[in-house]
Structure 1
Amino acid sequence: MPTRIDYDAKIPNNVDLSSNRRLQRALEGWQPKFMNWWAEMGPTLETHGVYLRTAVSVGREGWAHFDHVIPQDYRWGIFLAEHDPDRRIAFGQHKGEPAWQQVPGEYRADLQRLIVIQGDTEPASVEQQRLLGLTAPSLYDLRNLFQVNVEEGRHLWAMVYLLHAYFGKEGREEAEALLYRNSGSPDSPRILGAFNEETADWLAFYMFTYFTDRDGKYQLGTLKESAFDPLSRTCEFMLKEEAHHMFVGTTGVDRVVTRSAELIREHDTLDIAAHGGIPLDIIQRYINFHYSVSLDLFGSETSTNAANYYTSGLKGRWQETRRKDDHQLTDDSAALEKPRPDGTWGTEEIQAILALNLDLRGEYIADCHTGIKRWNKILADSGIDYTFRLPHPGFNRAVGINSGYHITPDGTIVDEQTWQDGKKNWLPTSEDLTFVRSLMKPVYERGKIASWVAPPSNGINGKPFDYTYVYLT
């Protein structure tokens, strides 16, 4: 498989698509449907060109090319990471066997389901963010939004290729359905709840790209371990692109906190709403919401499906090959913290093979703490006595063992009335949302930025902040 990407083809690819005319025709038939979806559900704001990066190679020597591109002319394609002919399955009952180049019949339905669920998230986030360009705080931020959107579109292509290439008629039908479902639709919503939530302001966008795209990182990381080699190589390259999305979220929240800290110091008050800044308690409530909704994406703490995927070799653990165990988990155990009906917490010992979702969630939570530390350091360096915190994993949950309980951010189990009374202090209120949206005035002048967010410390690809990242119509 070439590491360079063929951009002379109608569909850019490095999978030698031209050698399989039937597959090529099928994907070329899906391509105009994708373009129709992009025109209808993609970014609303029209541009004359956005400074976007495009993959030109999947090799380790470097892979990105930057240039101004009109988003609807972006060359979406099919890119798999380099093939390792000696790759072996690293876990489960097939551990040590050669990685699969085709789908084993007994695992066909499960693999297809995993690909469909991952594929469904990619266009969903584009749909959630389609109006944000109308209120971009700077051309730099507008460029980052478009970069995230076109790459999510390419990640959809990545999953659609697998469905078409390896799953026959059923795969083609599932690829069609990926364009039929829409985020928030009452009749045909996206599969996972977090991808039906509204992303109506830029603070929510930064939180989404920090917390929810970070879930994507961990889900892709487990699929990268898959015994099905085409899926593994697809996810390995997707992870390279996903890193930028999390960068947008991390530095975006950095800049909101920095600007809020500046206004607090300037006016000597935490109540900076009147001065055009986002108060720290509102930022905390946004953290609480987006973190808790993203935790639901990991599924139930105990899962026989996850155990079966692992045993079969379909989906591994985060950084599976670095784990110092037998990669079978037949005799290992894990501790599960559970709420009790009497309002206390207990611990249950369960089989590790049943706690794979819990294991992955733990890796994610540890990673999320790095952002909290960053944002608290900004406040500490500004001499501000305020501390952001991640809420307890049981807080505001709709999935798993905590979903039937009312749990406060500090982990206290409370009754319905106490929850309703405290909710306004823990989750964004309608007043919070209205206020934040009132700040969302577009700033399209080169080198200028909205007053509620600080400029970035560095531009994109060595360019300054005042570079013309976007040409508007």
Structure 2
Amino acid sequence: MSTIDYQEKIPNNVNLKEDRTLQRALERWQPSYLDWWQDMGPDGSTNFDVYLRTAVSVDPQGWAQFGHVKMPDYRWGIFLNPAEQDRKIHFGDHLGEAAWQDVPGEYRANLRRIIVTQGDTEPASVEQQRHLGLTAPSQYDLRNLFQVNVEEGRHLWAMVYLLHKYFGKDGREEGEALLERRSGQTDNPRILEAFNEETPDWLSFFMFTYFTDRDGKFQLCALAESSFDPLARTTKFMLTEEAHHMFVGESGISRVIQRTCQAMNELKTDDPAKLRAAGVIDLPTIQRYLNFHFSVTIDLFGADESSNAATFYTTGLKGRFEEGKRTDDHQLRNDSYRVLELRDGQLREKEVPMLNALNEVLRDDYITDSKSGVERWNKVIEKAGIPFRLNVPHKAFHRNIGALKGVKVNPQGQVISDNEWNARNHEWLPSESDRAFVASLMGRVVEPGKFANWIAPPVMGINRQPVNFEYVRFN
């Protein structure tokens, strides 16, 4: 007999109560998940009552219910967007056929790989952020961190559901492995390198949620086009929560910039040393953090030319961002795309088959989207009357994957010598002293309505609550 009331403990719309095989699989997996959360979830937070949003259904009234809850008691649910009747495959070799409700045998390995790779990013980010609660700049920010954490946990549940439901013993083993890998661990690290980087401070956290969670948005949008209907429906619902993560990042950086600009105008200086002495983060340091997180994130899209990307598209496993809005033939056999290469000491464009350049297509869509938020940050600086602009670096800057791996390029896109890179990279990427300074500002502020000196308060609170609401109750 089941030991878990599935509708109460695990809100879902996948008929979990009637699926005895899946029940048994999840009964075995859930204790391991809770052990992982205890070991690797937010440090020291077990007994806090946190004002969290919980999804209990996919309709507008049910997907965002708010209330104080202890995070180990959070109801991690399993939700798929409602099925689209008679949905057809709309790209690749199977264009026009009925969408798959089960995994085609010939695509089983590739689909499992895609789901596992996406699933692995979810617990990884929780692990990367697990100590940040100890240095939160406010209760408001602490609550936002915890909301991101529990939703990354729910996204892990979403991927594990697919593995358990559709991949049998292999899927169950992959589900266990998702709880065994650890971010940054030498012998069993997370799959993607960006998820093995440390997130040691709140400036890094805001950059991560702006840039790296935005990669999550684009990957999920591409998977939401999948011919495998359960994956498409799962990722579409995940996107409703991913939007909050990017909001945390964009608004967080905006508030850091606002506070810095305020100090610049009060002190009538743009001298980084004087601003640091005043306890705020100077704009050039923010630019260096931006450069780092942007460049690490665009590596997540993979190599510029990829036969795997072509295979995933032609077989219908993974589409492009907003595939349905594009006006080509959705098969791309005769299309080409420009990618960069190093030729004669310079960056040059070359034409390659578009199917092989789909990683680059998605990366370029991501870059366009990222720039729009950076421009909103620049409007904060402009409004303060300060002649400084933040910029997204050139996409060849600080790359560690594909044809541009290891090529020394400055943020403006000019190829430079190893000697110049070694002499100047501290101007473009956070130095040890930068990170030490930012770390020195990190001190926990827990009184409702109070904020650390280096960040401005938000314009409004969560769910129409006041900014000084008790978002976290420390028990």
Give the C-alpha shift of residue 7 in structure 1.
6.3
Q: Say whether the 8 Å CA contact 1:211–1:368 is kept in structure 2.
A: yes
Which 4+ runs in 1 deviate beyond 6 A?
A: none
Give the C-alpha shift of residue 371 in structure 1.
1.5
Letter in 1 for 2:433: E
| Secondary structure, counterpart of 1:349 in structure 2 | strand
Question: Following the alignment from structure 1 to structure 2, what is the Cα–Cα distance between the partners of residues 137 and 60?
Answer: 31
Give the C-alpha shift of residue 337 in structure 1.
2.4
Give the length in aligned residue pairs.
467
| Secondary structure, counterpart of 1:121 in structure 2 | helix
Letter in 2 for 1:336: V
Letter in 2 for 1:285: R
The yes-or-no answer on 1:333 pairing with 2:332 is no
Give the C-alpha shift of residue 339 in structure 1.
2.0
Give the C-alpha shift of residue 393 in structure 1.
0.3
| Secondary structure, counterpart of 1:318 in structure 2 | coil
2:448 pairs with 446, 454, 457, which one?
Answer: 446
Question: Following the alignment from structure 1 to structure 2, what is the Cα–Cα distance between the partners of residues 9 and 379?
Answer: 48
| Secondary structure, counterpart of 2:375 in structure 1 | helix
Letter in 1 for 2:201: D
Report Cα offsets for 1:246-278 as digits up to 9, x if no partner. 000000000000000000001011220000000
The yes-or-no answer on 1:317 pairing with 2:316 is no
The yes-or-no answer on 1:121 pairing with 2:124 is no
Alignment of 1:400-439 (within 5 A): 400-439=402-441
| Alignment match, 2:391 | 389
| Alignment match, 1:258 | 258
| Alignment match, 2:207 | 207
| Alignment match, 1:41 | 40
Alignment of 1:84-103 (within 5 A): 84-103=84-103
Give the C-alpha shift of residue 57 in structure 1.
1.7
| Alignment match, 2:170 | 170
Question: Following the alignment from structure 2 to structure 1, what is the Cα–Cα distance between the partners of residues 364 and 152?
Answer: 25
Report Cα offsets for 1:158-190 as digits up to 9, x if no partner. 000100110111111111100000000011000
| Alignment match, 1:20 | 19
Q: Say whether the 8 Å CA contact 1:337–1:346 is kept in structure 2.
A: yes
| Secondary structure, counterpart of 1:31 in structure 2 | helix
Question: Following the alignment from structure 1 to structure 2, what is the Cα–Cα distance between the partners of residues 414 and 48?
Answer: 51
Q: Say whether the 8 Å CA contact 2:16–2:22 is kept in structure 1.
A: yes
Give the C-alpha shift of residue 10 in structure 1.
4.0
TM-score by length of 2: 0.97
Question: Following the alignment from structure 2 to structure 1, what is the Cα–Cα distance between the partners of residues 469 and 430?
Answer: 35
| Secondary structure, counterpart of 2:48 in structure 1 | strand
Give the C-alpha shift of residue 11 in structure 1.
2.8
| Alignment match, 1:348 | 350
| Alignment match, 1:29 | 28
Give the C-alpha shift of residue 89 in structure 1.
0.5
CA distance 1:140–1:7, change in 2 (3 Å): farther
Question: Following the alignment from structure 1 to structure 2, what is the Cα–Cα distance between the partners of residues 118 and 347?
Answer: 30
Report Cα offsets for 1:17-73 as digits up to 9, x if no partner. 122211111111100000000000000032431000011221356621000011111
| Alignment match, 2:141 | 141
Question: Following the alignment from structure 1 to structure 2, what is the Cα–Cα distance between the partners of residues 327 and 129?
Answer: 39
The yes-or-no answer on 1:301 pairing with 2:304 is yes
| Secondary structure, counterpart of 1:428 in structure 2 | coil
Question: Following the alignment from structure 1 to structure 2, what is the Cα–Cα distance between the partners of residues 392 and 242?
Answer: 26
Letter in 2 for 1:435: F
CA distance 1:432–1:160, change in 2 (3 Å): same
| Alignment match, 1:54 | 54
CA distance 1:306–1:18, change in 2 (3 Å): same
Report Cα offsets for 1:363-393 as digits up to 9, x if no partner. 1000110121011111111111111111110
Question: Following the alignment from structure 2 to structure 1, what is the Cα–Cα distance between the partners of residues 342 and 269?
Answer: 39
Question: Following the alignment from structure 1 to structure 2, what is the Cα–Cα distance between the partners of residues 267 and 334?
Answer: 50
Give the C-alpha shift of residue 461 in structure 1.
0.4
Q: Say whether the 8 Å CA contact 2:55–2:77 is kept in structure 1.
A: no
The yes-or-no answer on 1:225 pairing with 2:225 is yes
CA distance 1:218–1:424, change in 2 (3 Å): same
| Secondary structure, counterpart of 1:346 in structure 2 | strand
Question: Following the alignment from structure 1 to structure 2, what is the Cα–Cα distance between the partners of residues 85 and 10?
Answer: 29
| Alignment match, 1:471 | 473
| Alignment match, 1:72 | 72
| Secondary structure, counterpart of 1:406 in structure 2 | coil
Structure 1 portions without partners, runs of 5+: 1-5
Question: Following the alignment from structure 1 to structure 2, what is the Cα–Cα distance between the partners of residues 403 and 337?
Answer: 11
| Secondary structure, counterpart of 1:91 in structure 2 | coil
Question: Following the alignment from structure 1 to structure 2, what is the Cα–Cα distance between the partners of residues 90 and 460?
Answer: 39
The yes-or-no answer on 1:457 pairing with 2:459 is yes
| Secondary structure, counterpart of 2:51 in structure 1 | strand
| Secondary structure, counterpart of 2:318 in structure 1 | coil
Question: Following the alignment from structure 1 to structure 2, what is the Cα–Cα distance between the partners of residues 76 and 220?
Answer: 19
Q: Percent identity?
A: 58
Question: Following the alignment from structure 1 to structure 2, what is the Cα–Cα distance between the partners of residues 432 and 345?
Answer: 30
Q: Say whether the 8 Å CA contact 1:260–1:452 is kept in structure 2.
A: yes
Question: Following the alignment from structure 1 to structure 2, what is the Cα–Cα distance between the partners of residues 144 and 91?
Answer: 37
Q: Say whether the 8 Å CA contact 2:11–2:75 is kept in structure 1.
A: yes
Q: Say whether the 8 Å CA contact 1:11–1:28 is kept in structure 2.
A: no
Question: Following the alignment from structure 2 to structure 1, what is the Cα–Cα distance between the partners of residues 195 and 258?
Answer: 28
Give the C-alpha shift of residue 9 in structure 1.
4.2
Q: Say whether the 8 Å CA contact 1:59–1:82 is kept in structure 2.
A: no
Give the C-alpha shift of residue 12 in structure 1.
2.4
Q: Say whether the 8 Å CA contact 1:59–1:81 is kept in structure 2.
A: no
Letter in 2 for 1:400: G
| Alignment match, 1:240 | 240
Letter in 1 for 2:267: H
| Secondary structure, counterpart of 2:404 in structure 1 | coil
Question: Following the alignment from structure 1 to structure 2, what is the Cα–Cα distance between the partners of residues 204 and 87?
Answer: 41
Question: Following the alignment from structure 1 to structure 2, what is the Cα–Cα distance between the partners of residues 10 and 429?
Answer: 46
Letter in 2 for 1:333: S
